[in-house]
Amino acid sequence: MIGMVISSGLMSSCSTGKAPKAEVIQTAVPARAFWHGDGVSGPAKIVIDLSEQRLRYYKGGELVGVSPISSGTPSHPTPTGSFRITEKDIAHRSSCYGEYVDGNGNVVNGDVDCRVDKKPPGCHYVGASMRYFMRVKGGVGMHEGYLPGFPASHGCIRLPTQMAAIFYGATPTGTPVQITGSASNATAERPIAIGEVVTEDKVIAEVKPATTVTKEERKTSKALKKNSKKAPEPKPLRGQTQYLEGA
């Protein structure tokens, strides 16, 4: 799926005396997110690396999908270990985190933990949207969400909308989930908005500047080429038995 192709005919030769040419390399950039699992058979397995903030999806032992994630913060860590998908809910809402809304639908407080934050008079609680929810352990699961480019959730594994929908459709209940690493090792990346398309199998072209060859290097190269000509093999003495190499 991912590889490197070096264009032919563009490598310069030091022995010709001609000016060297630039070298063009086309590289298939490893996708930040992809899905190649349609039609692939075998049991599914999900591996989440908190250090890399990546989810890898396997079918029959073959890597068929990759996605960025946003996991829990240090104060609300995502649990590590071996788990299984215990529940799926395509229109799930959080029972703990969300917002307080007044009677006219206006958000009064948009970031609340209803177990701690007191509800203002005349308001009601609306749980945060967690579409394509797949429960992993307790209240922790994988679901659609905004990815700011670093660990930012209350413990859940946020996914881009596109990948959350794909994984939800491909994953049966009981699928094993392995979570490893530490979010404290994660590096910052660009944010991904809800609804943004993220699959990106790209090929880019890089131009490497030509290497300057000095006159002395050109003379040395010519001399080496001249001396490398194969010397004639001596004729065997009369009566000498000749053995074929490899016989």
Run means of pLDDT, 10 residues per run, the chain, 247 residues: 37 44 52 90 97 96 96 95 98 90 90 90 91 96 96 96 97 98 94 91 56 66 63 50 37
Q: First and final CA of the chain: distance in angstroms?
A: 43
The confidence score (pLDDT) of residue 87 equals 97
Which string of DSSP letters, residue by residue, matches 103-114? Answer: TTS-EEEEEEET
CA distances from 119 to 85, 112, 123, 130 (A): 33, 9, 7, 22
Q: What tokens were used for 163?
A: 């990948």
pLDDT in tens, 101-136: 999 999 999 888 888 999 999 999 998 889 999 999
The confidence score (pLDDT) of residue 111 equals 85
The DSSP code for 216 is H
Which string of DSSP letters, residue by residue, matches 163-215? Answer: HHHHHHHH--TT-EEEEES-GGG------B-TT------EEEEEEEPPPP--H
The confidence score (pLDDT) of residue 216 equals 72
CA distances from 17 to 54, 141, 221 (A): 50, 65, 10
The confidence score (pLDDT) of residue 244 equals 36
Helix (H) or strand (E) holding 224: helix 215-227
Nearest CA to 46 out of 130, 134, 131 is that of 134
Q: What tokens were used for 244?
A: 């074929």
User: Are 96 and 78 in contact, with CB atoms under 8 Å apart?
Assistant: no
Nearest CA to 158 out of 97, 209, 81, 100 is that of 97
Q: At the fourth CATH level, which superfamily is domain 32-200?
A: L,D-transpeptidase catalytic domain-like (2.40.440.10)
Q: What are the backbone angles phi and psi of residue 117, rounded to the nearest 5°?
A: -80, 130
pLDDT in tens, 156-165: 999 999 999 9
The confidence score (pLDDT) of residue 219 equals 72
- What are the structural domain ranges in the chain? 4-27+204-225, 32-200
Long-range contacts of 107-116 (CB under 8 A, 24+ apart): none
The confidence score (pLDDT) of residue 56 equals 97
Using DSSP's 3-state secondary structure scheme, residue 183 falls into: helix
The confidence score (pLDDT) of residue 193 equals 95
The confidence score (pLDDT) of residue 180 equals 98
